[in-house]
Copies of this chain bind each other. A is one copy, B any other.
Amino acid sequence: MIRAAAGRAKGHVRKTPLLSSPFLDEVAGRRVFVKAECLQHTGSFKFRGGWSALSGLSRAARAAGVLAYSSGNHAQGVALAARLHGVPATIIMPADAPPLKISNTKAYGAEVILYDRAGGASREEVGAHMQAARGLTLIRPYDEPLVIAGQGTCGLEIAAQLAALGVTSGEMLTCCGGGGLTAGIALALAEQAPEIRVRPVEPVGFDDTVRSLVSGRIERNTGPESGYWDAILTPSPGQQTFPILQSLCGPGLVVTEAETRAAIRLAFERLKLVAEPGGAVALAAALFHGTELKGDAVGVTLSGGNVDRTAFATVLAEAN
Residue of B nearest to A26 (CB): B107
A309 to B267, CA, bound (A): 11
A310 to B269, CA, bound (A): 11
Contacts of A317 in B (CB 8 A): 309-310, 313
A100 to B269, CA, bound (A): 9
- For the complex, is A274 an interface residue (Cβ under 8 Å from B)? yes
Residue of B nearest to A306 (CB): B272
- For the complex, is A256 an interface residue (Cβ under 8 Å from B)? no
Task: State the copy count for this chain.
Answer: 2
Which residues 91-111 in A have Cβ within 8 Å of B in the complex?
Answer: 100, 104, 107-108
Which residues 1-21 in A have Cβ within 8 Å of B in the complex?
Answer: 14, 16-17, 19
Assess A23 versus B107: contact at CB under 8 Å? Given A268-B312, A309-B317. Answer: yes
Which residues 259-315 in A have Cβ within 8 Å of B in the complex?
Answer: 265, 268-269, 271-274, 305, 309-310, 312-314
Q: Is the CB of B100 within 8 A of A43?
A: no
**Proximity string of chain A (239-259) to chain B, C-beta cutoff 8 Å, 1 when within and 0 when not:** 000000000000000000000
- For the complex, is A136 an interface residue (Cβ under 8 Å from B)? no
* Closest CB in chain B relative to A35 CB, distance in Å: 13
Contacts of A100 in B (CB 8 A): 269
* Closest CB in chain B relative to A175 CB, distance in Å: 15
- For the complex, is A38 an interface residue (Cβ under 8 Å from B)? yes
A contact patch SS: helix
Q: Out of B14, B17, B310, B314, which one reaches A39, CB within 8 Å? A: B17
- For the complex, is A160 an interface residue (Cβ under 8 Å from B)? no
* Closest CB in chain B relative to A164 CB, distance in Å: 9
Q: Is the CB of A17 within 8 A of B19?
A: no
Q: Is the CB of A269 within 8 A of B316?
A: no
Q: Is the CB of A309 within 8 A of B269?
A: yes
Contacts of A16 in B (CB 8 A): 17
Which of A272, A312, A314 has the most C-beta atoms of chain B within 10 angstroms of its own C-beta? A272
Which residues 31-89 in A have Cβ within 8 Å of B in the complex?
Answer: 36, 38-39, 43
Contacts of A314 in B (CB 8 A): 313
Which residues 204-262 in A have Cβ within 8 Å of B in the complex?
Answer: none
Q: Is the CB of B107 within 8 A of A272?
A: no
Binding site for B on A (CB under 8 A): 14, 16-17, 19, 22-23, 36, 38-39, 43, 100, 104, 107-108, 265, 268-269, 271-274, 305, 309-310, 312-314, 316-317
The 7 residue pairs across chains A and B that have the minimum distance between CB atoms: A272-B305, A272-B274, A313-B316, A313-B313, A38-B272, A309-B316, A313-B317
